[in-house]
Amino acid sequence: MDLLERAPLLDELDGVLAATTTGGRVVLVAGEAGIGKSALVRRFAERHSADARFLLGACDPLLTPRALGPLHDLGRHTGGRLAALLAAGSPREQLFAALLDELDRGARPQVVVVEDAHWADEATLDLLVFLGRRMDRTRALLIVTYRDDEGKLVDYVSEDVKPSPADLARGETRKMDCLDCHNRPSHAFELPERAVDRAITEGRLSRDLPFVKKKAVELLRKEYPDRATAEKQIADGLLDFYRTGYPEVYRQRRAAVESASVGWAM
Ligand SMILES: Nc1ncnc2c1ncn2[C@@H]1O[C@H](COP(=O)(O)OP(=O)(O)OP(=O)(O)O)[C@@H](O)[C@H]1O
Ligand SMILES: [Mg+2]
């Protein structure tokens, strides 16, 4: 069957595949159900059956999603180490790394297709993030298809409803936070000490700045009217602490102090 109106897209995909000789690429194919995402990818695979190796994986609309379903599909195509690791139930990092190694194998460019990512389980979404961030180090092409008509919101409003959508549009908007719905004791907050430890372990706060934990915990413990103010005052607080209390550290370790004052308290 001939695909209608798809020649430009197929040519574009050809171009992206050719460009993988200088570094891997990612292509997202989005569109409503039945628009022809799979047909496009299938035709592309047919066109390159001789000059590229296609690894196909698909997500399914299962009630209990299969963890890493598409990766298992890919493993069946590749065999070898990836398949062995999958069969052994190996940890995710090893599986993801094995797939990445697989993409560097062989002379032909490789195309990984993950179909229907709108049904992806969480582990597969992690895999896509992992791959997406590393494709440029490979010579492969990752194609992800998904429906973009999921989650559409249609409001049906009865005419006698008060306030009407027009009234609401004229009203004041206030962003809610957690405490609008439940009280402080019922909300699982991370203890300041633990949040700071985590920021230090994850390298968001430099552990060798003097008294960094003490000061950061103290700043986290304070009350702030809202999140934006908290973020600003915590950042400024740390900066001031070193600028006024430890001017020598501030001068010599300016970058560490500044990065400690930006966004670590997320
Ligand atoms: N360009 C086209 N010209 C003619 N027929 C097409 C074209 N694209 C798709 N079709 C036909 O439309 C039908 C649906 O296409 P396809 O399965 O590729 O859609 P899809 O976007 O992958 O849908 P889904 O989101 O359900 O996976 C198929 O029968 C396919 O052969
Ligand atoms: Mg499809």
* CATH number of the domain bearing residue 111: 3.40.50.300
For residue 91, give its domain range.
7-146
Average pLDDT of span 83-97: 96
Q: Residue 5 CA: which ligand 1 atom is closest?
A: 1
Tokens of 171: 């009203």
Q: What percent of the chain has pLDDT over 70?
A: 90
Task: List pLDDT tens digits, range 123-162.
Answer: 999 999 999 999 999 999 999 999 987 556 566 777 777 7
Is residue 266 scored above 60 in pLDDT?
no
Is the residue at 180 inside a domain?
Answer: no
| Ligand 2 ion: residues within 5 Å (CB) | 37-38
Average pLDDT of span 57-61: 94
Q: What mean pLDDT is reported for the chain?
A: 88
One-letter identity of residue 168: L
CB-based pocket (< 6 A), ligand 1: 3-6, 31, 33-39, 116, 147
Is the residue at 159 inside a domain?
Answer: no
Q: Give me ligand 1 centre to Cα 111, in Å.
A: 20
Is the residue at 24 inside a domain?
Answer: yes
Q: Which of 37, 46, 118 to mutate to test the pocket of ligand 1 (most atoms within 8 A of CB)?
A: 37
CA–CA gap between residue 227 and residue 41 (Å, rounded): 45
Is the residue at 16 inside a domain?
Answer: yes
Tokens of 64: 């209990």
Question: Nearest ligand to the C-alpha of residue 36?
Answer: 1
Is the residue at 176 inside a domain?
Answer: no
Q: Cα–Cα–Cα angle for 70, 72, 75, nearest 5°? A: 115
Residue 97 shares a structural domain with residue 204:
no
Q: What per-residue confidence (pLDDT) applies to 127? A: 96
Residue 41 shares a structural domain with residue 114:
yes
Is residue 65 scored above 80 in pLDDT?
no
CB within 8 Å of 127: residues ≥ 6 apart: 68, 70, 71, 92, 96, 99
One-letter identity of residue 141: L
Residue 142 shares a structural domain with residue 11:
yes
Task: List pLDDT tens digits, range 7-48.
Answer: 999 999 999 999 999 999 999 999 988 899 999 999 999 999
Task: List pLDDT tens digits, range 66-78.
Answer: 899 999 999 999 9
Residue 38 shares a structural domain with residue 141:
yes
Provide the number of structural domains found in the chain.
2
Indicate the helix (H) or strand (E) that contains 185. Answer: none
For residue 135, the SS3 value is helix
